[in-house]
Structure 1
Amino acid sequence: MATGNRAVVFHGIEDMRVDTVDYPKLEMPNGQKAPHGVILKLVATNICGSDLHIYRGSFAAPEGMLLGHEMTGQVVEVGPDVEFLSEGDLVSVPFNVACGRCRNCRARHTEVCETTNPDASCAAYGFNLGNWDGGQAEYMFVPYADFQLLRFPDKDQAMEKIRDLALLSDILPTAFHGLMEAGAKPGSTVYIAGAGPVGRCGAAAARLLGASCIIVGDYDQKRLDLVKRNGCETIDLSQDVPLTDQIEAILGEPMVDSAVDYVGSEAHGIGSDADKLMPQAAINQVMDATRAGGATGVIGVYGPDPLAPTQEGQEGTFPLDFGKVWIKSPRISAGQAPIMHYNRELMMAILWDRMPYLSDMLNTQVISLDEAPDAYAKFNEGSDEKYIIDPHGMIKN
């Protein structure tokens, strides 16, 4: 058994390092024994756009915190109370840490577990949300394993599709959740704000759902090209043309059935305001673009940001154009995704080749653990790649 553990560790703003830390134990963050947990050998562990909030300093984190919340791993140690998992099983780890026992978990709202974070009804690996170590590492501990972990039915088949299955911890179910909250269905017209990895997963998920016209808006032409070649329409938000006019040029009408904000408070304006940070821009755009009686999903992260240029943004208060859209009887849903609500079905869609375009749309790139700090810097500069860390060299090129 291994005795050490190399991991990506936060040392300050824009300062990620690969350090050797303690090998994980079957223990909760407070030191309590966790016979319901397992230790995983990480096979794939991704860098997420949400990690950049920590990297940039927008989301406060203590120095020395282990990062990472998108993990796929192999079980190497099983707690005595674990009944349905065995050593050698290949599993996906939902980023929400959830007990499976509280009122919210029993209602399948694992994104707001009431017990795994003493400070709030929300816990996640690799964030300052309950002191759970992240999984950009060689090994990690996962509690409540029978409840939390999604086991792949065939390890060899899973390893052949690991680039796609690695997305099940967060961004693919998160993207799907946004579409569900926005009421997307076969034949729907959909607008997706943001062509980052989550937005591109949203475009892929909209195709899986049978949406008709899928429109993606962004400023980065390389990212837009990835969705364009996979059957989506695109809008360059740097053009000085109102969003609804650009949608009308594509659809023949200025609004869509469903719209999802995959950007959050790091949004910029349109056209002449494209270089200006406008935290409220994306959410106002999707509300404006949604037809009367339609629905809007807000998946992008909104919260207090110490780096915001205004006091309102620092406090997490955003000016919304709600008065303008109220007359449309809007339905708006926001928040983190309950990953376990969707991950098994999306796993089956991947295993049965219902999303063959996923890796191309995401532009997944496999890197070593030592390359992670440099990948953070590239991603922060706007890289169109989705970085998958392979700590043990187990993923075929």
Structure 2
Amino acid sequence: MPSNRAVAYKGPGRVEVIETPYPDFELHDGPGVNPANIGRRVDHGVVLRTVATNICGSDQHMVRGRTTAPADLVLGHEITGEVVEKGRDVEFIQVGDLVSVPFNIACGRCRNCKEGKTGVCLNVNPDRPGSAYGYVDMGGWVGGQAEYVLVPYADWNLLKFPDRDQAMEKILDLAMLSDIFPTGFHGAVSAKVGPGSTVYIAGAGPVGLAAAAGSMLLGAAAVIVGDLNAQRLEQARSFGCETVDLTKGDPQDQIEQILGVPEVDAAVDAVGFEARGHGAHAGEAPATVLNSLMGVTAAGGALGIPGLYVTGDPGGVDEAAKVGSLSLRLGLGWAKSLSFTTGQCPVMRYNRQLMMAILHDRVHIAKAVNATPISLDDAPRGYHEFDEGAARKYVLNPNDYIKAA
């Protein structure tokens, strides 16, 4: 049986590469595993040899100590891999298939899955709807920043790439299908972006840049990205976005300079609960983004909110923030008849279409987010540099599939 190495959360600010068990078709006790899931059979699953597994901003929230994640939790929910073993109940996925794994774990059998709400599957997390690999309070499914990973409900969850050689030529683009590209695209779709739309996206991290690329794919006329990080704003400009420097204050005046009016048709929150205020020396102010988006979105418009908000934040700025309670200008949103869409992106709603856009050169998402492959052993460095604001999307290459690494 092969050995298995993985990236684990060791405490605030610390990740390490550890030895971890090779997956089998049963859930075992371990850090963060829900007791009700221990002993659960996964004959409907497959074992993947990991091709690419990305560092996500959502992982960073845990690594900063801003969640209740336990030490030794194996991280990683953005997974692309090759099937090396299949459970006895897997019918259509075969050993040797190259696949993308939606970060949402979904059974395909419950009411929500049948309605396409795969981000809130009712059967994979005993505590609440919705689950993900390697994430706090998500049922304890082992993460995929590892050499090998178990994926349940394989026939339902996995997106098979149609041609292996073509897929490997575009593997950095296709590696974005597990989370950030569908998530950013979902933010744009939820904000009702369409041909001729003007869009403001708060946050120039990978999800914000994916939302910008998705907005362009949807036909937006002007895509404006705001951030406090100059390097990330430069990355946004590299593929045609207008930018707003939030160290200079509220975005409204800068939006007016770009568009001639101080409002946009649609807005996306790609920041989440660790938002900072506007201005050069602003501190953390978790309601800033949502309140500013309500201000800059035209009456009757919509907000897509793929940015992560949590129910428990030990590092929150006040007691309300520690339980996910924010001071929102809901009256303004109501008065302007704004609509809001929150929650996990249902990846399966979009991933096949976005795969086809990648394979047919309609979008170059890896270039947009500056996808940068590194080795598994370099994961601690990648986490540190990403936390320092590097304008990159780090892609771990644990089994040397990616030649560029």
Q: Which residue of 2 aligns with 1:216?
A: 225
Correspondence 1:7-46 to 2 at 5 A: 7-28=6-27, 29-46=37-54
Which residue number corresponds to residue 89 of structure 2? Answer: 81
Cα distance in structure 1, aligned partners of 2:300 and 2:69:
40
Q: Are 1:298 and 2:312 counterparts?
A: no
* 1:96-125 Cα distance to aligned partner (Å, 9 max, x none): 111000010110100000010000101110
Q: Determine the C-alpha separation between the residues in 1 that align with 2:342 and 2:46.
A: 32
Contact 1:226–1:360 (CA under 8 A) maintained in structure 2 = no
Please state if 1:288 is matched with 2:298.
no
Q: How does 1:1-397 map to 2 (within 5 A)?
A: 2-28=1-27, 29-128=37-136, 129-240=138-249, 242-271=250-279, 274-303=281-310, 304-356=312-364, 358-397=365-404
Comparing 6-15 and 24-33, the one that deviates more: 24-33
* SS of the residue 2:266 aligns to: strand
CA contact (8 A) 2:285 2:317 kept: no
Q: Distance in 1 between matches of 2:321 and 2:43?
A: 42
Q: What is the rounded CA distance, in whole Å, between the counterparts of 1:104 and 1:223 in structure 2?
A: 36
TM-score normalised by L of structure 2? 0.95
Deviations 1:212-262 (A, max 9, x none): 00000001111111111211100000003x322211111011111100000
How many residues end up aligned between the 2 structures? 393
Which amino acid letter does the alignment assign opposite residue 25 of structure 2? L
Provide the rounded CA distance (Å) in 1 between the counterparts of 2:325 and 2:41: 40
SS in 1 for 2:6: strand
Output the CA distance in 2 between the equivalents of 1:244 and 1:84. 51
Gaps of 5+ in 1: none
- SS of the aligned residue for 1:108 comes to coil
Q: Partners of 2:100 and 2:66 in 1: how far apart?
A: 28
In structure 2, give the amino acid aligned to 1:268: R
Counterpart secondary structure, 2:20: strand
Is residue 78–residue 103 contact of structure 2 (8 Å, CA) maintained in 1? yes
SS of the equivalent of 1:27 reads coil
2: CA distance, partners of 1:21 / 1:142: 16
Unaligned runs of 5+ in 2: 28-36
1:177 deviation in Å?
Answer: 0.6
TM-score, normalising length from structure 1? 0.97
Say which SS state the counterpart of residue 77 (structure 1) adopts: strand
What residue identity is the alignment partner of 1:3? P
CA positional deviation for 1:381: 1.1
Deviation sequence 1:186-217 (CA, Å, 0-9, x none): 11000000000100111111111110000000
Contact 2:294/2:332, CA 8 A, preserved across alignment: no
Paired AA for residue 212 in structure 1: A
Cα distance, 1:383 vs structure 2:
1.0
Rounded Cα–Cα distance in structure 2 between residues aligned with 1:74 and 1:323: 50
User: Separation in 2 of the partners of 1:11 and 1:267?
Assistant: 24
User: Residue 30 of structure 2 aligns with which residue?
Assistant: none
- Tell me the SS of whatever aligns to 1:11: strand
Q: CA deviation at 1:34?
A: 1.6
Q: Deviation of residue 23 (structure 1)?
A: 0.4
Contact 1:5–1:23 (CA under 8 A) maintained in structure 2: yes
1:322 Cα deviation after fit: 1.5
For 1:256 and 1:40, how far apart are their aligned partners in 2?
43
Distance 2:342 2:50 in 1: 31
Offset at residue 271 of structure 1 (A):
1.9
Q: Secondary structure at the residue paired with 1:311?
A: coil
Out of 321-330 and 207-216, give the one that drifted further: 321-330
Deviations 1:131-182 (A, max 9, x none): 1000000000011000000000001100100001000000000001111111
Q: CA–CA distance in 2 between the matches of 1:392 and 1:329?
A: 50
